[in-house]
Amino acid sequence: MQFRDLREQHRRLKKEINSAVLDVLESGNYIGGKHVQDLERQLADFVGARNCITCANGTDALQLALMAWGAHEGLAVFVPDLTFFSSGEVVSSVGATPVFVDVDPRTFNMNPIKLEEAISSVKTNTDLVPFAVVAVDLFGLPADYPAIRDVCKKNGLHLLEDGAQGFGGSIKGSKACSFGDISTTSFFPAKPLGCYGDGGAVFTDDDDWAALIRSLAVHGKGEMKYDNVRVGMNSRLDTLQAAILQKKLRAFAGYELASVNRVAERYSEALADLASTSDIMLPFIPPGYTSSWAQYTIKLSQDLNRDLIRSKMQDAGIPTMIYYPKPMHSQRAFEGSSICFEGCPTTSLLCDSVLSLPMGPYVSEEDSNLVATTLNRIIRDSASNW
Ligand SMILES: *Cc1c(COP(=O)(O)O)cnc(C)c1O
């Protein structure tokens, strides 16, 4: 069994994708052009944002947003302590200081109460000026935007949605990547909507920011390519990847998103017994929210030996992953250049007890059942051995 099977999807879309790729190869146009423009329109429509600017990857997308806002040294940017490294890395890349905020013990997303506490601690205990919040849609579940947006408004902070894992999720019918003042996503192959390499996108309703980001992504271009009015970067989505993504977006919106939600439902039903005895905690989706299930991540009881469970799962041919083994505040790269008030204990606990199961729209009923029965057996066996 694969942790995330990308080959099955390719098998199903092969004909369409091969012909889209050939079209691009024969067109002689490999950067920009109609495929990129059309894809940007289709992505913006799907998400419900006025503007979409594609770029080279999800990390650049975040950095472009912070650059457009003029983030710099002396500013504090609030980032959840449980996320992929990029969410905090970009803050340091533009010279600002990441302030890590603890997460909610049920959703694993940024805790809005902890966010408020961190903002007032920065104001009273540091010389930094609170500037922006990077909220992450971890594992496909949108962050608590109703509450986080209020906190941002009250404190005059920009809100950046890191939707790298969130593309396809929703809150009360509004789609992920429409919740930030600027929102971003990644098309890394294993993300909910992936391409065949690296890719990313920025979304915003603000036309001025959109124009600025378009310029920043192409060496700070002005009226034309060889008129450079600011220092930017070189971050574009390849035409080939845009052509591939057009086909994949259709499959994603047409059936993959529904399919991955059925896989999640099957897991949650099959694991309900283990949850009822508190051996594990199932993923929690708050009312009104939907997830795009970038990961299906359970939390193991502290009595259980995670390493042993993982190795027994592996023996049974079932790969599992740990997202994430380390809180952001413990990453050496941030040592001495970041802040974490009170140590973020919920994140630390989660890093020691989370376990992600094989996931994706093409996980068969047979495989999801096998994963659940195997996990049931391993946990029940380990209990009876003590
Ligand atoms: C994957 C990911 C990114 C970075 O995306 P890349 O395309 O790999 O640069 C940023 N944030 C989160 C939460 C991610 O999962």
The DSSP line for 45-100 is HHHT-SEEEEES-HHHHHHHHHHHTT--TTEEEEEESSS-THHHHHHHHTT-EEEE
Kindly report the protein residue whose alpha carbon is nearest to atom 1 of ligand 1. 164
Residue 382 confidence (pLDDT): 83
Best substitution site from 77, 165, 235 to test ligand 1's pocket, by max atoms within 8 Å of Cβ?
165
Kindly report the protein residue whose alpha carbon is nearest to atom 5 of ligand 1. 58
Q: Beta 280-281 vs 289-290: how paired, if at all?
A: unpaired
Best substitution site from 54, 59, 82, 356 to test ligand 1's pocket, by max atoms within 8 Å of Cβ?
59
99 CA distance to ligand 1 middle (Å): 19
Going by C-alpha positions, the residue among 357, 264, 275, 347 that lies closest to residue 309 is 357
- Among all chains, which residue has been given the structure tokens 């067109």? 27
Sequential pLDDT tens for the chain (386 residues): 999 999 999 999 999 999 999 999 999 999 999 999 999 999 999 999 999 999 999 999 999 999 999 999 999 999 999 999 999 999 999 999 999 999 999 999 999 999 999 999 999 999 999 999 999 999 999 999 999 999 999 999 999 999 999 999 999 999 999 999 999 999 999 999 999 999 999 999 999 999 999 999 999 999 888 999 999 999 999 999 999 999 999 999 999 999 999 999 999 999 999 999 999 999 999 999 999 999 999 999 999 999 999 999 999 999 999 999 999 999 999 999 999 999 999 999 999 999 999 999 999 999 999 999 999 999 999 876 55
Q: Where are the beta strands (DSSP E) in the chain?
A: 51-55, 75-80, 97-101, 129-136, 158-162, 170-171, 174-175, 182-186, 200-204, 280-281, 289-290, 296-300, 354-357
Residue 245 buriedness (CB in 10 A; 0-12 / 13-18 / 19+): buried
- Tally of CB atoms within 10 A around 379: 20
Residue 384 confidence (pLDDT): 65
- Tally of CB atoms within 10 A around 15: 9
Tokens coding 365 = 């009923």
| 8 A C-beta contact, residue 82 and residue 353 | no
Cα 170 → chain centroid = 13
- Among all chains, which residue has been given the structure tokens 């017994």? 273
Residue 207 CA to residue 133 CA, distance in Å, equals: 21
Whether the CB of 200 sits within 6 Å of ligand 1: yes
- Among all chains, which residue has been given the structure tokens 């390519």? 225
Residue 225 confidence (pLDDT): 80
Question: Looking at ligand 1, which atom is closest to the CA of residue 294?
Answer: 15
Torsion, Cα 215 220 225 226, to 10 degrees, reads 160
Residue 249 confidence (pLDDT): 98
Residue 187 CA to residue 33 CA, distance in Å, equals: 19
366 CA distance to ligand 1 middle (Å): 30
Q: Which residues pair with 339 in a beta bridge?
A: 99
Whether the CB of 144 sits within 6 Å of ligand 1: no
Best substitution site from 79, 85, 87 to test ligand 1's pocket, by max atoms within 8 Å of Cβ?
87
Residue 338 CA to residue 196 CA, distance in Å, equals: 34
